[in-house]
Every structure is written in structure tokens, then in C-alpha cells.
């Protein structure tokens, strides 16, 4: 594909995106990743956006292991759009998650609405009465984020995304600690300590930006229901 024009290359990638086979999905993401990480000098920068949008859309179609590799590759590039990094954060190893959080911290401020103490108490009370599988649904409703994202937050063993959720909505550290324990009640002492200590590793600015990103993922669904 190196000798084709940007428009022809985009058309080929769109054709791959329309295919449903696992091989086509792998080829699509590999081609997009290689292209964006080694952008040809002959391609205008204005052409990057459609390729980036196509990659972001295709990320849900590949295996978690493939997303982990992509997260590592893209997190080291300052040119990577933050939306792509945020889409990969759940599959990134903790050290890569930290890099992605740093990029969020450097982004434009995006302050999320704060929960007051009454809301915080109500949230904790509801979660304490819930079975573990129901916690993600509770978080989704309270924080207005997609259910799929809430589920990934609950199952994130590093707890960094849970810290981002709590700090983004200005929950107290005590509330975060309770959620971290309730979400993984069978964690051993070492894991529990690491999860609680994660609170210090997420800047408030990064949490605000990431929570805003998660909430934006719910907006198209809300708009379509309203229509």
C-alpha cells in the first residue's frame, strides 16, 4: 500500500473495516497503526484525522492482547490523539496507564460536576447492598458513563481507572477506598494495598479529563434515544 495515494489507502482501509473476519480486523488495525506511527512525509497532516478516527473505531473489534500492544506503541508518541490513548487505557499495563494519565493531565481542563456528601453517602450505601456484578451498573448510573466502561473500571486490577472516576467526580478518598475494597472483595492483602495506594498516582486534572471523555462516549446513545 506504500505506493498508493492517501485517498486510495483510506478507501482500502474502509473496505477492510467493512469486513467481519478476524483476519481483516487484525490487518486493518495493523495497517492503521503502522501508518500513523510512521506517517509518510508525502502525506499531508490534514489526512491524519480520518485514519485516526478509523483506528479508534476499529479498536473494539480486536483482541485485548492486540490492544495492549497498541497501547504500549502509541503511548510513547506525543502525536497520538488523546482519544485513542483513552480508548486503550483499560488494556494498557499499569506503567502505560500512567503515561496515558499524564497526557490527560496535560490536556485542557475538563472539570466534572461534583457529588455532594449526600450523593456520596447514597452511592456507598447502594453499592454496599449490591452484589459485585451489580456494582458496575450502579457506577454507570451514578456517574453517567457507559455500562461497558463502568464494567472495565470495576475489573481494572490496578484501580487507576477507579481513582480517575472518583477524583473526577470529587469523591473523598474514604469513598474511593470503600469502592476499591467493595469492587474486589476477594483481593489479597498485597493487591488491596496496591489498589488503595493508587489514589496518589492520578492527578486531579487527569481524572477530570478522563471522566469527561468517558461521559462523552455515552452522549451518542443518549442522543439517539432522545431522537
Q: Where are the domains of the chain?
A: 1-62, 117-226
The pLDDT value given to residue 91: 94
Residue 224's pLDDT is 40
Tens digit of pLDDT for each residue in 162-202?
A: 999 999 999 999 999 999 999 998 889 999 999 999 999 99
Taking all residues of the chain, what is their mean pLDDT, rounded to a whole number?
86
- And the C-alpha cell for 76? 510513547
Give tens-digit pLDDT for 107-117: 866 565 566 66
CA neighbor of 50 nearest in space, from 24, 82, 11, 16: 11
Nearest to 158 by CA among 205, 105, 97: 97
pLDDT at 110: 57
Q: What are phi and psi of 105, to 5 degrees?
A: -65, -30
pTM of the predicted model, to two decimals?
0.83
Return the pLDDT at 109.
66
The pLDDT value recorded for residue 165 is: 95
pLDDT tens string, the chain, 227 residues long: the values are: 556 676 777 788 778 878 878 888 888 888 889 889 888 888 888 888 888 988 888 888 888 998 999 999 999 888 899 999 999 999 999 899 999 999 999 886 656 556 666 788 889 999 998 887 889 999 999 999 999 999 999 999 999 999 999 999 999 999 999 999 999 988 899 999 999 999 999 999 999 999 999 999 887 544 443 43
Please tell me the predicted confidence (pLDDT) of residue 131: 82
DSSP string, 109-154: P-PPPPP-HHHHHHHHHHHHTS-HHHHHHHHHHHHT--HHHHHHHH
111 HSE (CA, 13 A, CB side):
4
- Amino acid 113: pLDDT: 59
Amino acid at each position: 500500500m506504500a505506493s498508493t495515494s492517501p485517498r486510495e489507502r483510506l478507501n482500502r482501509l474502509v473496505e477492510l473495516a467493512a469486513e467481519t473476519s478476524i483476519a481483516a480486523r487484525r490487518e486493518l488495525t495493523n495497517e492503521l497503526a503502522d501508518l500513523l506511527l510512521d506517517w509518510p512525509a508525502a502525506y499531508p497532516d490534514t489526512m491524519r484525522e480520518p485514519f485516526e478516527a478509523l483506528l479508534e473505531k476499529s479498536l473494539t473489534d480486536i483482541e485485548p492482547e492486540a490492544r495492549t500492544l497498541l497501547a504500549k506503541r502509541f503511548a510513547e508518541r506525543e502525536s497520538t490523539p488523546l482519544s485513542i490513548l483513552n480508548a486503550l487505557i483499560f488494556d494498557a499495563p499499569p506503567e502505560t496507564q500512567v503515561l496515558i494519565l499524564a497526557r490527560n493531565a496535560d490536556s485542557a481542563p475538563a472539570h466534572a460536576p461534583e457529588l455532594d456528601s449526600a450523593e456520596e453517602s447514597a452511592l456507598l450505601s447502594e453499592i454496599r447492598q449490591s452484589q459485585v456484578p451489580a456494582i458496575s451498573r450502579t457506577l454507570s448510573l451514578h456517574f453517567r458513563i457507559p455500562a461497558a466502561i463502568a464494567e472495565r473500571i470495576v475489573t481494572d486490577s490496578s484501580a487507576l481507572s477507579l481513582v480517575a472516576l472518583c477524583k473526577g467526580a470529587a469523591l473523598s478518598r474514604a469513598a474511593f477506598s470503600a469502592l476499591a475494597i467493595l469492587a474486589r472483595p476477594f483481593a489479597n492483602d498485597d493487591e488491596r494495598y496496591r489498589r488503595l495506594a493508587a489514589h496518589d498516582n492520578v492527578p486531579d486534572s487527569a481524572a477530570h479529563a478522563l471522566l469527561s471523555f468517558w461521559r462523552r462516549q455515552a452522549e451518542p446513545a443518549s442522543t439517539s434515544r432522545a431522537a
